[in-house]
């Protein structure tokens, strides 16, 4: 059996990381957040679903013979000409070999004119097939504005038994 991954949270610049942030339908003057879920064999993860595409989130379960790694990323955008502060968390209940899930806290600021940034959590997919969820709950505050913007998303994620030769 392969060793367990340790849950890791990373902060990165979208353009430098070779990733594209999913588009956000909100106006450029408003806070915006998007997300992606990538899964596969360690080092060869591919996008399985995102806020920018309309498709079901289906991931192969880990097994004793083959671990499926997963990268959940939330992308942040500046709002207009003021600093935008994002706070909250996102939860991936399908992370962890026994399905215990993983929560990632968010406390991040982005300045006007900066490229979108992201925070990612990396871990293994549970070995227990079933329906799980990706939940995002964020509050975005823009300097000089009294009304914070709230992001609440609940995305179902289906974990399926790994078929022979499946990559994730």
Fold of 8-160: Coagulation Factor XIII; Chain A, domain 1 (2.70.50)
Q: pLDDT tens digits, residue range 52-82? A: 888 899 999 999 889 999 999 999 999 888 8
Q: Is the pLDDT of residue 142 over 60?
A: yes
Sequence ranges of the domains in the chain: 8-160
Q: pLDDT tens digits, residue range 86-141? A: 999 999 999 986 767 899 999 999 999 888 889 999 999 999 999 999 999 999 99
Q: Please state whether the predicted TM-score (pTM) of the whole model is above 0.75.
A: yes
CB 78 within 8 A of CB 112: yes
Q: Is the pLDDT of residue 26 over 70?
A: no
């Amino acid at each position: 059996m392969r060793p367990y991954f340790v849950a890791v949270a990373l902060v990165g610049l979208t353009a430098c990381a070779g990733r594209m942030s999913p588009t956000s339908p909100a106006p450029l003057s408003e806070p915006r957040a998007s997300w992606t879920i990538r899964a596969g064999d360690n080092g060869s993860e591919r996008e399985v679903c995102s806020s920018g595409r309309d498709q079901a989130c289906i991931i192969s379960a880990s097994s004793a013979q083959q671990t499926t790694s997963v990268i959940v990323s939330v992308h942040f955008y500046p709002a207009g000409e003021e600093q935008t502060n994002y706070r909250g968390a996102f939860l991936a209940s399908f992370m962890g070999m026994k399905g215990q899930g993983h929560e990632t806290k968010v406390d991040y600021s982005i300045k006007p004119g900066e490229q979108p940034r992201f925070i990612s959590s990396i871990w293994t997919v549970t070995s227990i097939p079933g329906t799980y969820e990706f939940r995002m709950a964020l509050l975005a505050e823009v300097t000089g504005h009294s009304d914070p913007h709230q992001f609440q998303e609940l995305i179902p994620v289906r974990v399926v038994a790994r078929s022979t030769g499946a990559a994730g």
